[in-house]
Amino acid sequence: MTAPSVGFTIGSVTIPDIAGIHHVTLTVSDAPASAEWYRDVLGFSILRQVAQNELTKVMLARQGLSLILVDHGDQAVPGDFSERRNGLDHLGFAVADQVTLESWVSHLDSVGVPHSPVTQGSSGLLIAFRDPDNIALEFYTQPIG
């Protein structure tokens, strides 16, 4: 039996550990259609779809990342995604290096997804693109060291 993790202390307060991101949930206009886009463009596997009342949720996974797409049916608030509204600004997917980033450039080109050129970000190289609901996405190289 291993001892529970105690986190770290700031002053007299102990902050518990976080092991990582369990999942990310994105609100989309059509969860099944968006799930197909995330499968076909980004290589996610569609695990299951659940309909609950007005909600439709589709669970996806890829290389340890769980992504849930949810649409709120008739209860959805109308309007396009905007990173300037409170909530999600963008979702950045980590890639190992510039070679992998360039592979994504080629892949996005081949499936007709518009994207930015390779750009220097604050801690690596990146390309920016958007999903069918205009949600801002990025591929970002891992920082060295």
- 50 lies in the same domain as 70: yes
* Residue-wise pLDDT tens digits, 7-52: 788 888 888 888 778 899 999 999 999 999 999 999 999 999 999 8
Helices H / strands E in the chain, number of each: 2, 10
First to last CA, the chain: 32
Q: Are residues 30 and 51 in the same domain?
A: yes
pTM of the model: 0.87
- Domain extent, residue 60, equals 21-74
Burial of 143 (0-12, 13-18, 19+ CB in 10 A): exposed
Contact (Cβ atoms closer than 8 angstroms) between residue 124 and residue 137: no
**pLDDT digit string (tens) for 89-129?**
999 999 999 999 999 999 999 999 999 999 999 999 999 99
C-alpha distances (whole Å) from 28 to each of 11, 39, 63, 71, 143 are: 42, 15, 22, 5, 30
Question: Does residue 30 fall inside a structural domain?
Answer: yes
> Is there a single domain that holds both residue 131 and residue 103?
yes
Overall number of domains in the chain = 2
Per-residue pLDDT, 7: 78
